[in-house]
């Protein structure tokens, strides 16, 4: 009996051990398979190539500064597996959308995680990042593809208040700033709220937005705390402006600057709309025909060089146009600048005003130094390493709006003022990086600003005239023109002060056949400006 019991126990243990081994093998296979599937579905290759909707984003990603950062690090975050699994499970709905074609073009990301859970795992603005000197190369659409360079210092800032820092561009991360956007792409921001270190709240409203009184109460769920992605929204998937892309391509030597008019041709090809990429390829191939017609000798001697340019333009088309997904540079705004898209001017447009009449400042030198140009025939650029002693007038939050109508001899104490307002780079006040560009997203022409800005100084804009038989306190005043006006410029007033130009603009000037020369019948030149104007003409 005892032997039989031992034999049965051994046979039972044998079967049990066998079952354990089988289960262990199955468990190992399941585990290895699961880990393999988990790792593969977290790979950049899977994210970028599996779904037919991803090519545009994947192509842009490969040329971005984050080309070596896995997609999941930003879209899921660097959490533990136990936290990542349920988050990833929620994203499986996109598989259903892709299979059923239940999506609208173009596709936009809807639910990125906060930058504090993603970007700031690697980038920590609290630890201070130094300011950066930046050189931007531009090329003209002339035969020589003339190169000019813009130099400026980006005031990146960083650090914290306790270190005496927390300034510059990264001030927005150190401080509590929230906003309400009224559109899906967050290009229209009519409300901004700042909470300082003492808990004081300042609210800024776009004075042209015609906002309801209960805007904030109605949109509490839409109130967003500002973070990195509000500016760096295309840092990993940038669809660049075609002309900027061509400038960068030429700066890298991928398009030969010696080819006549190649910049103009390349920019023209990339800026035109196309139904398919093949249409753009055909346009690029037509360069041979054009050069053979206009520059036959050059074409005969440089066919291989021109073909290299054609191939490069076609490559740029491949990375720029995605007609099948209805995606291009216009569909995905880039918020890091303020020229092609509102960007910084979404808030810093000069017309977001608080109840106290303060505005969110709109000044070039808040986030970077005054841009200076260098190039053929231009003086060497000079960039100030630190801010000078600004007069009290410059510290007014409305200074830039007032600057266009307040100018006097004291300006020359700090700035060279030759040809002020011009764009020939002959002085500080003739800076083409400022005055040769139409800043279409700035709000300095908002009519509502006239109600909150102080009127121009009478001492500057008006000349006291005491008439015969009048006491001094009964003096009348004649308006002055706050900038030089030569004979050549008379008759050009409405180019700036007309209905399609800058302000101030008086409606009665809309009268038909209004004589432009009549400006000087009512307005007189400020004496010191007449002297400057005469000196300019003599020089």
Which domain CATH number covers 94?
A: 1.10.3820.10
Residue 34 lies in a domain: yes
Residues 223 and 348 in one domain: yes
Percent of residues, the chain, with pLDDT higher than 90: 27
Q: Do residue 426 and residue 346 come from a single domain?
A: yes
**Is residue 71 classed exposed, middle or buried when 0-12, 13-18 and 19+ CB atoms within 10 A define those classes?**
buried
Q: What is the pTM of this model?
A: 0.77
* Percent of the chain residues past pLDDT 70, beyond the cut: 78
Mean predicted confidence (pLDDT) in 32-41? 85
Could you give the CA distance from residue 367 to residue 396 in angstroms, rounded to a whole number? 16
List 322's β-bridge partners, or say none.
Answer: 327
In a domain, 135, yes or no: no
Would you call 388 helix, strand, or coil by DSSP?
A: coil
Question: Which among 102-106, 189-193, 534-538 has the top mean pLDDT?
Answer: 189-193
Token pair listed for 277: 């990429």
Structure confidence at residue 486 (pLDDT): 55
- Rounded Cα distance, 12 and 15, in Å: 5
Determine the Cα angle at 492 with ends 402 and 374, to 5°.
65
My answer on whether 37 and 85 are in the same domain is: yes
At 458 the pLDDT is 52
Residue at a domain's end among 62, 86, 121: 121
pLDDT over 90 (residue 258): yes
Q: What was the pLDDT predicted at 206?
A: 93
Q: Kindly state the DSSP code that residue 201 receives in the 8-state scheme.
A: E
Cis? peptide before 106, omega within 30° of 0 = yes
- Strands (E) in 323-380, as ranges, are 352-353, 372-374
Domain shared by 425 and 340, yes or no: yes
Q: Are residues 256 and 370 in the same domain?
A: no
Q: Domain for residue 330, yes or no?
A: no
Q: What is the mean pLDDT of residues 301-324?
A: 92
Residues 6+ apart with CB under 8 A from 53: 98, 103, 107, 325
Q: Are 203 and 191 in contact (CB under 8 A)?
A: yes
pLDDT of residue 197 exceeding 60: yes
Output the CA–CA distances (angstroms, integers) from residue 31 to 23, 36, 72, 336, 344, in the order listed. Answer: 12, 8, 21, 44, 49
Rounded to an integer, the average pLDDT of 512-520 is 57
**Residue 177: per-residue pLDDT:** 94
- The answer to whether the peptide bond before residue 112 is cis (omega within 30 degrees of 0) is no
Q: What does pLDDT average to over the chain?
A: 80
H or E segment at 497?
Answer: helix 493-497
pLDDT at position 162 over 70:
no
- 195: confidence class by pLDDT, cuts 50, 70, 90: very high
The answer on pLDDT for 19 being more than 80 is no
| Residue 288 burial by Cβ neighbours in a 10 Å radius (0-12, 13-18, 19+) | middle
Which residue, of 304, 325, 346, is where some domain finishes?
325
d(CA 448, CA 433): 27
Choice between 252 and 425, residue whose per-residue pLDDT is larger? 252
Is 444 within the bounds of a domain?
A: no
Same domain, 204 and 252: no
Same domain, 18 and 111: yes
The domain boundary, picked from 435, 470, 489, lies at: 435
Cα–Cα nearest to 321, from 290, 283, 264? 283
Provide the residue range defining the domain that includes 515: 458-538
Decide if 532 contacts 417 (C-beta within 8 A): yes
For position 465, what pLDDT does the model report?
Answer: 46
- 98 and 193 within one domain: no
Could you tell me the pLDDT band of residue 488, with boundaries at 50, 70 and 90? low
Query: CA-to-CA distance for 397 and 194, rounded, in angstroms?
Result: 15
Say yes or no to pLDDT of 469 above 50: no
Per the domain annotation, does 445 fall within a domain? Answer: no
Residues 115 and 7 in one domain: yes
Residue appearing with tokens 């899977």: 46
Nearest-CA neighbor of 126 among 171, 164, 93, 159? 159
The confidence score (pLDDT) of residue 347 equals 94
Q: What is the pLDDT of residue 353?
A: 92
Q: C-alpha 383: how far from its chain's center? A: 22
pLDDT, residue 287, reads: 93
142, part of any domain: no
Confidence tier at 468 by pLDDT (50, 70, 90): very low
Higher pLDDT, 125 or 255: 255
Q: At 447, list the tokens.
A: 């009519």
C-alpha distances in angstroms, 221 versus 179, 180, 183, 188, 359? 11, 9, 14, 17, 25
- Average pLDDT of span 492-497: 63
pLDDT at 164: 59
Decide if 79 is inside a domain: yes
Q: Tell me what pLDDT residue 343 has.
A: 93
CA 417 to chain centre: 29
CA angle 355–361–364, rounded 5-degree value: 170
Domains in the chain, number: 4
Number of H helices, E strands in the chain: 21, 11
Position 147 confidence tier, pLDDT thresholds 50, 70, 90: very high
- Do residues 168 and 85 share a domain? no
Which strand (E) or helix (H) includes residue 305? helix 303-320
**Same structural domain for residues 513 and 468?**
yes
Position 141 scores a pLDDT of 93
Interval 290-296 mean pLDDT: 93
Instruction: Please report whether residue 127 resides in a domain.
Output: no
Say if residue 82 is in the same domain as residue 213: no
């Amino acid at each position: 009996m005892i032997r039989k019991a031992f034999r049965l126990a051994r046979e039972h243990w044998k079967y049990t051990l066998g079952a354990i081994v089988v289960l262990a093998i199955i468990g190992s296979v399941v585990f290895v398979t699961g880990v393999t599937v988990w790792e593969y579905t977290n790979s950049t290759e899977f994210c970028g190539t599996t779904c037919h909707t991803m090519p545009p984003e994947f192509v842009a990603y490969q040329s971005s500064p984050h080309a070596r950062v896995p997609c999941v690090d930003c879209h899921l975050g660097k959490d533990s597996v136990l936290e990542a699994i349920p988050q990833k499970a929620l994203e499986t709905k996109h598989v259903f959308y892709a299979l059923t074609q239940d999506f609208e073009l173009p596709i936009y990301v809807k639910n990125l995680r906060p930058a504090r859970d993603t970007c700031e795992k690697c980038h920590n603005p609290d630890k201070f990042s130094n300011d950066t000197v930046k050189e931007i190369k531009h090329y003209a659409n002339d035969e020589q593809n003339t190169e000019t360079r813009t130099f400026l210092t980006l005031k990146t800032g960083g650090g914290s208040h306790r270190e005496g820092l927390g300034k510059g561009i990264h001030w927005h991360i150190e401080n509590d700033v929230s906003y309400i956007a009224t559109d899906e792409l967050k290009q229209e921001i009519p409300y901004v709220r700042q909470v300082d270190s003492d808990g004081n709240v300042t609210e800024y409203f776009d004075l042209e937005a015609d906002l309801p009184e209960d805007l904030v109460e109605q949109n509490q769920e839409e109130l967003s705390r500002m973070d990195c992605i509000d500016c760096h929204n295309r840092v990993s998937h940038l669809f660049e402006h075609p002309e900027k892309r061509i400038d960068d391509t030429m700066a890298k030597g991928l398009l030969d600057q010696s080819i006549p008019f190649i910049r103009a041709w390349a920019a023209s090809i990339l800026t035109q709309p196309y139904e398919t990429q093949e249409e753009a390829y055909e346009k690029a191939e037509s360069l041979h025909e054009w050069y053979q017609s206009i520059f036959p000798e050059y074409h005969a001697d440089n066919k291989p060089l021109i073909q290299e340019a054609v191939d490069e333009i076609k490559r740029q088309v491949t990375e720029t146009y995605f007609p099948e997904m209805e995606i291009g540079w216009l569909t995905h705004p880039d918020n890091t600048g303020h020229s092609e898209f509102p960007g910084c001017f979404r808030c810093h447009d000069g017309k977001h005003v608080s109840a106290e009449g303060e505005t969110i400042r709109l000044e070039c030198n808040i986030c970077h130094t005054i841009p200076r140009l260098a190039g053929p025939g231009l003086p060497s650029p000079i960039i100030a390493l630190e801010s000078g002693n600004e007069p009290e007038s410059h510290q007014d939050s409305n200074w830039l709006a007032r600057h266009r109508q307040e100018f006097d001899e004291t300006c020359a104490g700090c700035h060279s003022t030759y040809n002020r307002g011009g764009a020939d780079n002959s002085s500080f006040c003739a800076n083409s990086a400022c005055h040769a560009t139409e800043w279409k997203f700035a709000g300095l022409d908002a009519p509502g600003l006239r109600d909150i800005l102080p009127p121009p100084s009478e001492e500057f804009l008006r000349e006291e005239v005491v008439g015969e038989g009048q006491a001094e306190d009964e003096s009348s005043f004649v308006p002055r023109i706050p900038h030089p006006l030569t004979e050549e410029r008379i008759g050009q007033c409405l180019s700036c002060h007309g209905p399609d130009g800058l302000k101030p603009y008086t409606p009665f000037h809309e009268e038909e056949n209004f004589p432009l020369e009549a400006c000087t019948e009512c307005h007189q030149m400020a004496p010191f400006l007449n002297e400057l104007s005469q000196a300019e003409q003599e020089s």
